[in-house]
Amino acid sequence: MTINVLFAARPDRWDDYEAPLSAALADAGLDAHLATDLPPGEVDYIVYSPSGPVSDFRPFTRAKAVLNLWAGVETIIGNPTLTQPLCRMVDEGLTLGMAEWVAGHALRHHLGTDLDVRRAPGDWSPHIPPLAPERPVTVLGLGALGQAAARMLANIGFPVTGWSRTQKDIAGIRCLSGADGLDRALSNAQILVLLLPDTPATANILDARTLALLPRGAVILNPGRGTLIDDDALLLALDTGQVGHATLDVFRQEPLPGEHPYWHHPRVTVTPHIAAETRPRTASLTIAENIRRSEAGEPLLHLVDRKHGY
C-alpha cells in the first residue's frame, strides 16, 4: 500500500526538498507518495515546519507521526491539537553545521581575531593569545548538537566542560549536571556556549546571578535559543566588563528589531540565526529513515518527550 507523505513546510522549500526527499524515500525501499496537498484523512506522515500551512492536526486522523524539519520544537510542543508522535530534526548536516559555527566563533574570540583585523595604520603591537589548552570552554546542553560542538572544541585542544539536565558520560568532556553542577560549569568558563532547548526550566538560565559566576571578561556564544538569556542582565554585564563579548545567533524576537541595543553595542556580534541550517539532502535521509522505522514497527528516532519539551 502506498504511504502518503504530506510536505507541510513553507511553499518555497518544496523545490529544495522534492527531489532529495523523493530519492531518500525510494532508497529506503518505501512506496511513498510525496505531495504538498493531500486529503488530511489520507495522510500517513507529516513533514512539518512551524512556518508551514498546518496548525490544526485534528483532521489528520491516520497520521502516524509528525516529522519536524527544525531541531527546536518549542513552537509546536504546546499545540493542543497535536496528538500524533512528534520527532525533532537531528541530522548530520545540521549537527556538523552547528559544531562548525561554534568552533569558528570560539576560535575567533580565543585568537582575538576581531582585535587583529581592526588595527589602525601603524599599530603593530603584539597580541599573543594563550594556547587552546589554557582556555576553558563550557557547553550548556549536551544533546546531539551540544555533544557535537563539545567534541569538536575538545579536538581543537580546549578543555571542555559540559552541563546538562541529566548526567552524561562523554569521553574527553568533563560532564556535570544539576544546580550545583551548573554553578561549577560556569565558574571557569572563559568561553560559554549555549545549546539548551527552549523550555520553562531553561528560560533566563543566564541571568544576573549566573552571569556573575563567569570569570570576568568571559565570552558568550548563543546559537541555542534567545530565551536562554535575560537580555537586560547581559547588557549590564557587557557594560561593566563582566562579560567581554557576546556573539548571538538567536533572539526572543526575530528578525532582531532595528532599535534593539544588541545592534549597536560594541561588545555584541549579531548573526541572523544561521548557526545550524537544516540541509535538504541530509534532513531527507533522517525523515525517510524514521518513516521506514515506523512502517517496520521500530522505535522512532528523536521522539520528543512532551513532559520535558524536547
Residues noted as catalytic: 225, 273
Task: Give the span between the Cα atoms of 156 and 30, in whole angstroms.
Answer: 41
Task: Give the span between the Cα atoms of 43 and 61, in whole angstroms.
Answer: 8
Any idea what the Cα angle at residue 92 is, between residues 109 and 3, rounded to 5°? 150
* C-alpha of 186 from chain center: 20
Task: Give the span between the Cα atoms of 305 and 292, in whole angstroms.
Answer: 21
CA dihedral 254, 258, 260, 266 (to 10 degrees): 110
Question: Which residues is 45 bridged to in the sheet?
Answer: 5, 65
At 268, is the secondary structure helix, strand, or coil?
strand
At 213, is the secondary structure helix, strand, or coil?
helix
Task: Give the span between the Cα atoms of 185 and 187, in whole angstroms.
Answer: 6
Of 137, 290, 301, 305, the closest CA to residue 218 belongs to 137
